[in-house]
Amino acid sequence: MFNKKPKSADFLVVGLGNPGKKYELTRHNIGFMALDSLMSSISVDKKMKKWEGELYFSKLNGKNIIFLKPLTFMNLSGNCVSAVMNFYKIPIENIIVISDDISLSVGKIRIRRSGSHGGHNGLRDIILKIGSDNFKRIKIGVGERTNPDYDLADWVLSRFKSDEISLLQEKFSCLPQTISLIADGKIDEAMSKFNG
């Protein structure tokens, strides 16, 4: 596994969300939820708090991977991602960001090689701070607003219902294999298998 003070890593997997109990199980926090589920199914060697984030160090299929939860609040996620990427010398194309997507039904997964922020403020800030949109994404559906007049901010900060949480836990089970395939350069296979 990693030594006590790792100096580099092969991949950075970022789960986006907002810190604090107030935001637990909200739609915007699906990145945190997915990362927790992913890490519960693999061996995590070390945890560290630095650069306004929580870093977890692991090894998957021979690759050194850092799992990251930025604790800067969603709109400033890029500060933490940029700091970790630069310190551990991780290429932009080896960053995988897990985020919520309101255009997808709950639990639906959409893997992308790169792309615009699509109006997502966390992705927007990461692109701004690292100077590129050439990183992988795993978008997880949180469902569209139940009413078009529903304020978007209120919707993404609303909590999942219990049946939705059960569905998400089931969908999260594919994440270890998804990350493994992407890390092995098999993103097309990951997209074919898991894009809903």
Catalytic site residues? 28
Which residue from 177, 15, 109 is spatially nearest to 189, judged by alpha carbons? 177
Beta carbons of 25 and 165 less than 8 angstroms apart? yes
Half-sphere exposure of 156 (CA within 13 A, CB side): 22
Residue 177's pLDDT is 94
Percent residues over pLDDT 70 in the chain? 97
- E strands, 27-62, where? 44-50, 53-60
Residue 181 pLDDT greater than 90, yes or no: yes
User: What are the residue boundaries of the structural domains of the chain, listed by start?
Assistant: 11-194
Which DSSP helix (H) or strand (E) runs through 183?
A: helix 175-183
pLDDT band of residue 6 (cuts 50, 70, 90) is low
Question: In sequence order, what are the residues at sequence separation of 6 or more whose Cβ sits closer than 8 angstroms to the Cβ of residue 19?
Answer: 69, 71, 73
Provide the β-strand partners of residue 53.
Answer: 50, 70
pLDDT tens digits, one per residue of 49-104: 999 999 999 988 888 999 999 999 999 999 999 999 999 999 999 999 999 999 99
Which pLDDT does position 3 carry in this prediction? Answer: 47
Written as six digits, the tokens of 21 are: 């109990």
- Domain 11-194, CATH class in plain words: alpha beta
What would the pLDDT profile of 12-33 be if each residue is shown by its tens digit? 999 999 999 999 999 999 999 9
Question: What pTM does this model have?
Answer: 0.92
pLDDT tens string 145-180 = 877 777 888 888 889 999 999 999 999 999 999 999
Q: How confident is the model at residue 5 (pLDDT cuts 50, 70, 90)?
A: low
